[in-house]
Amino acid sequence: MTNRALSVSTGHTYEVKRFLFKFLSAVQWHVDFSSTLEYLNGIKSNKSPAYYNKQFFQIVKFLVYLDLPWAKKIEHPQTVHYTPVRVPEDHLFSTAAIFKSDLQMTSLIHLGCDSGLRAEELYQLRLEDIDLENRIVYVRCDENHHVKNNGSIRISFFTKKTAKILQKYFSEFKRQNRRRHLWNEITIEKKFRQAPIRCKLLRKVFSSRWEKNLGPSGAKAALMGHANKTVDTSHYLSLSDNELREIYDKIMR
């Protein structure tokens, strides 16, 4: 088993590679039926059904790629009926109140709610990824950035209010001049333990606000980088960056 085999088979996404590296490390890069079952049963006992399902299908897909005859004998888990998590407004307000004197957290919360970026996308942002003047955030894919949507590069936007908050934070960030990323994952996740919500839920806040303001679904899919697009958004809808900005500014005032 080699890193090259892993790279070729999984192809593309950072998240999938992370799943499989954890699996291969656990079995010490010696893949057989018993060690695979032991690993999967461990996840099943300690993680949520949704997490288990996600890991299961990626691992089995990898095993099938390796042409292991026993891969298809592993029993598939039952379908998980997912209920979307709702973020109550009071939870968002109380979170903002907890971090009202923390410019790093305040800027992150506003950008997350405005842009619809995933938590891992927010954590990878650097100064050069955010254009304050034009209110654009770039979700890149290169050696320093990994995106979920099969390596697709995209942009999203933020409001004028958030631009002012980001400008203050950037000034502080430049003075410290100690960090590569604007929001370090370990630091941010530790801070969020004080709050009723987590960083990943900021994306849900954006989605809910967009829907409440009757924003078009195709534009939202483009901004959020949805991996599972409809036929319309995949083949027929083509919005320029300027058109996308015009729609955004009408919906997210």
**Residue 175 confidence (pLDDT):** 86
Q: In the chain, what are the domain boundaries?
A: 3-73, 89-251
Which pLDDT band, with edges at 50, 70 and 90, does 98 fall under?
very high
pLDDT of 173 > 50? The answer is: yes
Q: Which one, of 58, 62, 76, lies nearest residue 15 by Cα?
A: 58
Tokens of 43: 């996840």
Average pLDDT, the chain: 85
pLDDT of 246 > 60? The answer is: yes
∠ CA 102-107-161, nearest 5°, is 120
Q: How far apart are CA 233 and CA 141, in angstroms?
A: 21
Which CATH number is 89-251's, of 1.10.10.10, 1.10.443.10, 3.40.50.720, 3.40.50.300? Answer: 1.10.443.10
Q: Are 96 and 106 in contact (CB under 8 A)?
A: yes
pLDDT per residue as tens digits for the range 185-217: 999 999 999 999 999 999 999 999 999 999 999
Instruction: Give the rounded percent of residues in the chain with a pLDDT score beyond 70.
Output: 82
Tokens of 211: 């829907």
Could you give phi then psi for residue 157, rounded to 5 degrees? -135, 175
Which pLDDT band, with edges at 50, 70 and 90, does 81 fall under?
low
Tokens of 249: 């500014």
pLDDT per residue as tens digits for the range 7-65: 444 444 566 777 788 889 998 998 999 999 999 988 888 877 877 888 888 898 899 88
Q: Are 130 and 219 in contact (CB under 8 A)?
A: no
Q: Which one, of 102, 212, 103, 148, lies nearest residue 10 by Cα?
A: 148
Which pLDDT band, with edges at 50, 70 and 90, does 80 fall under?
low
Going by the DSSP 8-state scheme, the letter that residue 225 receives in this structure is T
Could you give phi then psi for residue 73, rounded to 5 degrees? -85, -15
